Chain A
Amino acid sequence: MTSPVDITPFMELAEVSRVYGSGDTEVRALDSVSLSIWPGDFVSIVGPSGSGKSTLLGLLGCLDAPSSGRIVVDGEDVTALADAARTRVRGRSIGFVFQQFHLIPHLDALGNVETALLYRGVRPADRRERALESLARVGLAHRHDHRPVQLSGGEQQRVALARSLVTEPKILLADEPTGALDSKNAANVMEILGGLRSPERAIVIVTHDNGIADSAARKISMRDGRVVSDEATTP
């Protein structure tokens, strides 16, 4: 994929490998992967299970450090950062959406969205206002006081989306975002995700569903810890 040279990527992976274990039990989950995520990107990462896409997601999300290679997020080299510093980069630049939603069960929708704004010096009133705005973006402002058990799967995933958006992250990482949803809710969530495309944001979806993958603008295919193809999808 070509991009204008005067734009810096949001994220850059250079010759990144991730090895678990050592000696006979050594597993090379990710093998010398290089790729860049650009502003405005709408990327899907596909591959069968064991292809290394979860490992790649952990590295993209700054949840893990590479065994070798170099990772730059938003201009900052995070390769060798200590946990606390990497956590700050994560909180500042990356938003997460998970297959299992991972909402905090004892908090209502608003509380779950607000959780992403804690410990950032945001005044409670501002925090509430921003969380409500974010819920409105996914069409759930009217259900802000419902707890996760009172929401449908699709609604829960939309709350999770609102939570990931409220911090205005550069990169939105979605791990099988429709994996636990029926087709109607899946389509709804994908529609919202597609609508979130913006030049100031990159959206990365990890999936094994080719239909979902093809709805993205760029598709990265993985196999055995390597990137086997990285190309624009043909609509």
Chain B
Amino acid sequence: MSTFRDLLRVSLSGLAARKMRTVLLLLGPMIGVAAIIAAVGLTDSAKGDLKAKVAELGTNLVEISASSSFGQETPLLPEDAIERALTVTTVETVASVRQLSNVLVTPYTEAREEFETIPVPVLAADDVLPDVLEVDLVAGRWLDAFDESTGARVAVIGQSLAQEFSYLPGENRTIELDGFAYAVVGVLERVPLEPGFDNAVFIPYRTAGDDFLDDELEPNKLYVRCEEGQEDLTAQALGVAIGLGGPDEIAADIKSEALELAAQSDRQLQLIVVSMGLLAIVVGGLGIANVMSISVIQRSAEIGIRRALGHTRRIIALQFLLEAVAVGIVGGILGVLLGMLAIFVGVSAAGWVFVMASWLAPAGVALAVVISVLAGSYPAVRAARLEPLETLRLG
């Protein structure tokens, strides 16, 4: 331990004593690391807004819908689809909706003619839908269990629809669905993964059954949150669990997939720029080997006297190697900072979102250290091999 402390002191004082040379040594790993950090960061940041969205929405939302089978107007899922979905062990939460057809939605009776031609989707929804979609309400509340059990004529509307109907948040108002007056109890915020909801009306299942449907209230869509990373397996398992080998075709869709694809960085561009950064750091490493080799020759008298004073070859080699490690650490950290600055400048100029993977900084410093040690090992060995008898010129 005390040996290491002594080594550290000797190495650092050696670096501090030759400032110009130390700056030259630092430049190599610094520029190389900065180039790599900037390359990865900028190519990531170019898709930064999309990446942020994916991170916010989560990638674990699976949509289950009944595919249209022959002869059926509105394909439906089995009545107990939710129970069936929950038998899949990776499933965490499930919500269902049933889209109703041909329901005319108007803000009030007098405006009927004006809105007749504008289709507004009306969905029966259960009380957990916003939780599963991980969205909030802009105003009011969502449909609750009381609404469901009493078949109350209440509705939650999407944000765009609220605007279109000039609905003010918190206002006591009704809208008309096929002439039935429904109390608006809440406004749902935008659902990025389901943009159609922005313009829709949500009502309880029971109410939908009373007013618009004669038949059973089977859902036609399920929204399923599953364990993170198990999306593909879950989607497959859900198809089987809900379809049960019956005649109904079940389609399982991972909602964030398209978004994720769009958010992917340009890998080829990244590869090219990172390769150039690697080239820069290798050249920087050669620079270190070169400058340190010259330094060993210049310091041969110092090495000789240290050997005469009882410092072993190993100590001499470690002294020079430690100088290289210090150069790697400091150069790496400076490189990371410089790279971050480059990303920041680029992002500001292009109006992107700053993205820098958390592993990038430690990886950059580690790379600088590895390169510096590799480059420093040859001069270190040469220093250790110097014979004190030759460098001290006795007699």
CB of A53 within 8 Å of the partner chain: yes
> B392–A54 contact, CB under 8 A?
no
CA distance in complex: A88, B392 (Å): 18
> B394–A163 contact, CB under 8 A?
no
Binding-face segment, A103-111, A190-198, A212-220: A103-111
> Which residue from A98, A100, A111, A118 sits with its C-beta under 8 Å from B6?
A118
Contact A58-B312, Cβ < 8 Å, known A175-B394, A175-B395: no
CA distance in complex: A225, B313 (Å): 30
Binding-face segment, B76-84, B298-306, B344-352: B298-306
> B311–A106 contact, CB under 8 A?
no
CB of A210 within 8 Å of the partner chain: no
> B302–A104 contact, CB under 8 A?
yes
Binding-face segment, B13-21, B85-93, B108-116, B174-182: B13-21
CB of A96 within 8 Å of the partner chain: yes
CB of A92 within 8 Å of the partner chain: yes
CB of B2 within 8 Å of the partner chain: yes
Choose among A54, A104, A105, A119 the residue with the greatest number of B CB atoms under 10 Å from its CB.
Answer: A119
**Chain A residues, CB < 8 A from B301:** 100, 102
CB of A64 within 8 Å of the partner chain: yes
CB of A4 within 8 Å of the partner chain: no
**Chain B residues, CB < 8 A from A63:** 307-308, 387-389, 392
CA distance in complex: A34, B5 (Å): 42
> A116–B310 contact, CB under 8 A?
yes
- A84-99 vs B, CB cutoff 8 Å, 1 = contact: the mask equals 1001101110001010
CB of B342 within 8 Å of the partner chain: no
CB of A152 within 8 Å of the partner chain: no
**Chain A residues, CB < 8 A from B314:** 84
CA distance in complex: A96, B311 (Å): 13
> A111–B395 contact, CB under 8 A?
no
Choose among B17, B306, B312 the residue with the greatest number of A CB atoms under 10 Å from its CB.
Answer: B312
**Chain B residues, CB < 8 A from A211:** none
CB of B10 within 8 Å of the partner chain: yes
CB of A61 within 8 Å of the partner chain: yes
CB of B261 within 8 Å of the partner chain: no
CB of A115 within 8 Å of the partner chain: yes
CB of B309 within 8 Å of the partner chain: yes
> Which residue from B3, B7, B309, B392 sits with its C-beta under 8 Å from A116?
B309
Among residues of B, the one whose C-beta sits closest to the C-beta of A175 is: B394
Interface size class of B (residues with CB under 8 A): 20 to 34
7 contacts between A and B (CB under 8 A): A84-B314, A87-B313, A115-B309, A119-B7, A122-B2, A163-B309, A176-B395
Interface size class of A (residues with CB under 8 A): 35 or more
> A91–B311 contact, CB under 8 A?
yes
B315 to chain A, nearest CB (A): 6
CA distance in complex: A163, B13 (Å): 18
> Which residue from A57, A91, A102, A104 sits with its C-beta under 8 Å from B310?
A91
B325 to chain A, nearest CB (A): 18
**Chain A residues, CB < 8 A from B18:** 106
**Chain B residues, CB < 8 A from A100:** 301, 393
Choose among B7, B18, B301 the residue with the greatest number of A CB atoms under 10 Å from its CB.
Answer: B301
CA distance in complex: A105, B17 (Å): 9
CB of A182 within 8 Å of the partner chain: no
Give chain B interface residues in 295-339, CB to chain A under 8 Å: 301-302, 304-315
CA distance in complex: A166, B309 (Å): 11
> B13–A87 contact, CB under 8 A?
no
**Chain B residues, CB < 8 A from A163:** 309
**Chain A residues, CB < 8 A from B302:** 104-105
B37 to chain A, nearest CB (A): 33
CB of A235 within 8 Å of the partner chain: no
**Chain A residues, CB < 8 A from B310:** 87-88, 90-92, 116, 119-120, 167
- A63-90 vs B, CB cutoff 8 Å, 1 = contact: the mask equals 1100000000000000000011001101
CA distance in complex: A51, B206 (Å): 117
**Chain A residues, CB < 8 A from B387:** 63
> B393–A88 contact, CB under 8 A?
no
Give chain A interface residues in 125-172, CB to chain B under 8 Å: 163, 167
Among residues of A, the one whose C-beta sits closest to the C-beta of B384 is: A83
Among residues of A, the one whose C-beta sits closest to the C-beta of B388 is: A63
